[in-house]
Amino acid sequence: MVFCTRYWRFGLLIGITFLAGTTVGPGLKVLDAAFAQDSNRTDMYQMLKVFGDVMQRIRSEYVDPIDDKLMVENALNGMLSGLDPHSSYMNAKSFKDMQIQTKGEFGGLGIEVNEEKGVIKVISPIDDTPAARAGIKPGDIITALDGKTLIGLSLNDAVDRMRGPPNTKTVLTIKRQSIEKPLELTLTREIIHILVVKSRMELDDIGYVRLSQFTERADTGIRQAVKTLKAQNGGRLRGLILDLRNNPGGLLEQAVSVSSDFIDQGEIVSTRARHPEESQRWDAKGDDILRGAPLVVLINGGSASASEIVSGALQDHHRAILLGTRSFGKGSVQTVIPLPGNGAMRLTTARYYTPSGRSIQALGITPDVIVQETREDRGAFGGEKEADYNRVLTNQGGADPQLHVPHSDLLPLLRQIPDRPPVDFPKFDPSKPDETDFQLLQGIALVKAIVAQKSAQAN
């Protein structure tokens, strides 16, 4: 998301209607344009009159008294949410909550959610939060809160209900794929201090860094984590695993900065807006903090938005090998535009493109090495990918999404990585990742193989 204050052009954009197969002179073209303009204005005024009539009828005849402000807010939210899955209206409270969340601290359960077809679906639980500890998973559908249904609520209303004072309990009713009966999970709300970066040393001088969200602290956290790992290991860091699995994204500027931590120069991402003059490009603005050491990035279906920008940039620059499963596929940029009354609108204003010109919108990024989390194939559950949503933006104007080809000298190593765990592999245990996280283990094995290959080539 791009957070900035913009001057917005008010007024209508009037299009000119062209009649196929008809030849008209210059005078008739002007008349046709004027007619189309008058027709569009008439239609708009008619719909505004309908809006006023409906609002007045609700005020006078609805079964219960309704606050005028609530009606207008509902109308604004409907106007925006009807465009695509990521545009929405935020009242003053929602806008303030969003600003707090992007700073990395807020109250609640710790779940990234979206709304589709009137239901609330989990994009990802946030690490070390009540939601993560309760075992909530990407793709879960939250059907009720404390026995009261969430079906049909707007995303803002649902999130507002899930938040509350710290130390208060709430019961979520969850519908999960492959489980017939709904799950009821009791969670205790707490102040969510998002520790967006975690790190540790693995064996053979290989570092591991987990980035859970692209908040304002993401880039600083990554640079500090790598610095700390080197200091802990006597300055040695032969390779790094960057874990972006289930990272739902965040700030575009932070995605550019994190990419620049590993790429010396060149394009990171570009955006194409409705008006060409508003399109932008971001280039690397740092230096490679790993000094060329091998980098493997872990992604999955919960890796979205800013995670995909970083993954796409590192992949296109041949700076990293991506391992895991196809990413979420959110290739659009939302601009948050403050509105009178302390609210704001989140509006989709552009598509973004990787350095090679690929648009991942509704397609996602395919990793260089596909490695499943478990042996079981997961069927489609709806809402797990961008392409599953209604009113999803089309993928357009980009290069072939399959354009990327890994370095040819690495292909033999990539082919050695198994695509799923063996039959007797243990069930994942978050307390024992080095024994039960199959994707992580394959990432470490790949870094070791690349280090060994480079060493052999140097000799």
How far apart, in whole angstroms, are the C-alpha atoms of residue 331 and residue 345? 19
Cross-strand partners of 240? 207, 295
Tokens of 167: 């130390």
Instruction: Tell me which of 127, 219, 303, 330 is the catalytic residue.
Output: 330
Interacting residues of 178 by C-beta distance below 8 A, sequence separation 6+: 379
Tokens of 17: 């209607």
Work out the angle between the directed axes of helices 306-316 and 252-260 (0-180°, nearest 10): 30
Burial bucket for residue 245 (CB in 10 Å: 0-12, 13-18, 19+): buried
Residue type, 267: E
Tokens of 62: 């609805």
- Other C-beta atoms lying within 10 Å of the C-beta of residue 425: 15
0.95 surpassed by pTM: no
Question: What pLDDT shows up at residue 4?
Answer: 35
Question: What pLDDT shows up at residue 13?
Answer: 20
Question: What pLDDT shows up at residue 5?
Answer: 30
Helix runs in 62-154, H state only:
68-81, 92-102, 130-133
Nearest 10 degrees: CA dihedral of 92, 125, 331, 241? 130
Instruction: Tell me which of 81, 305, 332, 359 is the catalytic residue.
Output: 305
Whether 330 sits among the annotated catalytic residues: the reply is: yes
In angstroms, what CA-CA distances link 275 with 18, 26, 440? 21, 27, 42
Render pLDDT for 81-94 as a digit per residue (tens, 0 to 9). 999 999 999 999 88
How far apart, in whole angstroms, are the C-alpha atoms of residue 415 and residue 368? 10
Question: What pLDDT shows up at residue 26?
Answer: 44
Question: What pLDDT shows up at residue 1?
Answer: 40
Question: What pLDDT shows up at residue 429?
Answer: 83
Question: What pLDDT shows up at residue 15?
Answer: 24
- How far the first Cα of the chain sits from its last, in Å, is 46
Tokens of 2: 């791009």
Below-70 pLDDT ranges, the chain:
1-38, 104-106, 377-383, 401-405
Going along the chain from its start, the domains and CATH numbers come out as 105-193 (2.30.42.10), 197-458 (3.90.226.10)
Question: What pLDDT shows up at residue 22?
Answer: 30
Tokens of 428: 């994942």
In angstroms, what CA-CA distances link 153 with 65, 116, 156? 20, 10, 8
The bridge status of strand 197-201 relative to strand 190-193 is unpaired
Interacting residues of 282 by C-beta distance below 8 A, sequence separation 6+: 256, 267, 268, 269, 270
Question: What pLDDT shows up at residue 175?
Answer: 94
Nearest 10 degrees: CA dihedral of 164, 169, 170, 175? 120
Instruction: Tell me which of 205, 243, 316, 437 is the catalytic residue.
Output: 316
Render pLDDT for 143-166 as a digit per residue (tens, 0 to 9). 999 999 998 888 878 888 898 888
For tokens 């948050």, the residue is 336
Can you say whether the dihedral through the CA atoms of 410, 318, 258, 451 is positive or negative? positive
